[in-house]
A and B are shown apart, each in its own frame.
Chain A
Amino acid sequence: MSGFETVFLYLAMSLLAVSGMLLISAALGPFRPKPEKIDTYECGVPLLDPCHKRYDIKYYVVAVLFLVFDLETVLIYPLAVRYKALAHLGWGIFFEVFIFVAVLLAGLFYAIKKRAIEWD
């Protein structure tokens, strides 16, 4: 075998753990339903207004902008860690990072120019 048995073991264990927890708590726990218990916060304070609200689409734009920086981090970090081992191959790799950042920057500039971060 090729090491996959650990993966299957892991899957089986996690299934067992989750179903075990659910089943045991269902079997042992008391069951006293109350309308307050299905409130959004079960802390005694009545809700002020319904939780299905409209919220501003701008949060979405912020999430998209965050993605730009997130990707930058995710891809530059591994390279920075490995850079010493690759440094003897020349400057090509060094400049590749800049090309990558430039592509992401284009997206950032586009978002700023399209007034994505102006909150009125």
Chain B
Amino acid sequence: MSDLGFSFTMTQLWQVAGGQIILILAALILIFVDLRLSTEEKPDNVSTMGWLTAIALLAALGHIVYREWPLNDVVLMGVFSIEKFSVFVSVIVIMAGLLATLMSIGYMKNNHLIRSEYFIMLLFAVYGTIAFVQSVDLLMMFIALEVMSLAVYVLAAFLKNDRKSLEGSLKYFLLGSFGSAFFLFGMALLYGLTGTVNITKIAVSLSNGLFTHPATLVALAMIMAGLFFKMALVPFHMWTPDVYEGSPAVVTGFMATAVKAGAFAVFIKLLSVAFTPILSLSGQPDFNSTINLAALGAYWKPVVWWLALLTMFFGNLLAVSQKNVKRMLAYSSIAHAGYMALGILAANDEGRMGVLFYLFSYTLMNLGAFGVLYILDGTERTAQTLDDYRGLGYKYPFLSFLMSLFMVAMAGLPPTAGFISKFYVFSAAIKEGYLLLAALGVLTSVIGAYYYLRVIYMLYMKDPVRDVKAGAIAAPAMLAIIFAAIGVMYLGILPEGLAQVADAAQKSLAMVF
């Protein structure tokens, strides 16, 4: 509960908020760079903007890793918390942003898009997600959520002359606003009950008796519903396939990783700080009574149990019948959210660590897959169906190899990161006694293996029915895809390093306050 006063110097400010400051300053400066460049519209300007964005993201990444990782504090008048957990998720988000930026340079070229506001929007989206994850103040959380969402709505509609892109974006906007409204209403109820917007104070206030109040349950339900929209768990997933299919391929990759990582991280943070007894572990007398909050588990755990089950089943089953690879990956991202929900349900150290690890490796394999997808596609929506993929393994051996690697990783086969992350999440769930759910989860991942491996089957074992011409391969995009591929392999073979970091990250949640 430190630094609730107003006194901080510029150095301190830089120390705790440097990553955010870099991102927002870079976005503001890039607006003017864009104005300067866009006097003559040349494709080269887009690459320039892309590289500048990548540099800004790298700078923010460096700052967050080197300065903010050792910190353990609630800063800036109790609005943001800088601890290993938020730093870890920020790294995932920036990594997703960086990979998406590098791929976008190639994507914009292949699709003849010469509007570089794209990168500014991407920076704002990354900034919003990071602020979302770092905030411990409900108001800031909501503002950051909107910064993130609005930027992503614009990105989703970036193919201005494409009906599907516009349709997807509008759907996303309407349903996303609906979800945000739920979130906001939950917050308003919590504020009305406890008189504070700080989530630790909410925990203390709730545990002193309010946790039995029915309005608390309504608030919890509403906040959960709002976040489930962003996480795309099953009854709240309706927007996902259309939006993911309609948006530009790289943006879809970014949405499915960064936005999802942000929503999952905030869900874990809110749940474990404000609604579970984790704070009583910190040893501070203020929080001893938060042990009472264990009673709330009886309400949210069955909900997450059913949602995880439904998400795993529907995500995987509906993906099987998809003909379009991009749409199939949309359903697959729903299914992956179900596996991650399993880790949240476990609510133990292994579970939280598993979710963080899963988010990290999922970011690599999903963005990698979307990177290959956009290159094989040429211009958006020319070759996205499974039939288009027939026989491409001999025409584009390297791209097909990478695609196969990412598919194997998503299917969860060893020796890839996908296997290890599923292993962590399932073992955490089994440890908490959710044996049936874990068994059903494994069953659904067998269904998953069918449609992931079908892509590889199409690539290598079928004869082409039509001539597919892949787009140009831009060097930065290839760099990003190869980075993702190496990451997926590395984490599959040597996961301990990242697992320890993720474990330190999730432990910091209890210790920061």
Contacts and interface: CB of A to CB of B under 8 A. Distances in A.
B192 A106 contact: no
Interface string B30-41: 011001000000
B192 A110 contact: no
B31 A3 contact: no
Nearest to A110: B31
Interface in A33-57: none
B31 A92 contact: no
Interface residues of B, number: 11
Contacts of B160: none
Nearest to B120: A110
A86 B77 CA distance: 14
Interface string B13-55: 0000000000010001001100100000000000000000000
A4 B192 contact: yes
Contacts of A114: 35
B193 A106 contact: no
A86 B7 CA distance: 12
A3 B195 CA distance: 12
Contacts of B6: 86, 89-90, 92-93
A106 B31 contact: yes
A71 to B, nearest CB: 12
A110 B35 contact: yes
A13 B44 CA distance: 62
Contacts, number: 28
Interface in A77-120: 86, 89-90, 92-93, 103, 106-107, 109-110, 113-114
Contacts of B215: 2, 4
A106 B213 contact: no
Nearest to B8: A92
Contacts of B213: 2
A109 B192 CA distance: 40
Contacts of A93: 6
Given A2-B213, A4-B215, A103-B28, A113 B35 contact: yes
Given A2-B213, A89-B7, 16 more contacts: A2-B192, A3-B192, A4-B192, A7-B192, A86-B6, A90-B6, A90-B7, A93-B6, A103-B24, A106-B28, A107-B31, A110-B31, A110-B32, A110-B35, A113-B35, A114-B35
14 contacts: A2-B213, A2-B215, A4-B192, A7-B192, A86-B6, A89-B7, A90-B7, A103-B24, A107-B31, A109-B32, A110-B31, A110-B32, A113-B35, A114-B35
Interface of A: 2-4, 7, 86, 89-90, 92-93, 103, 106-107, 109-110, 113-114
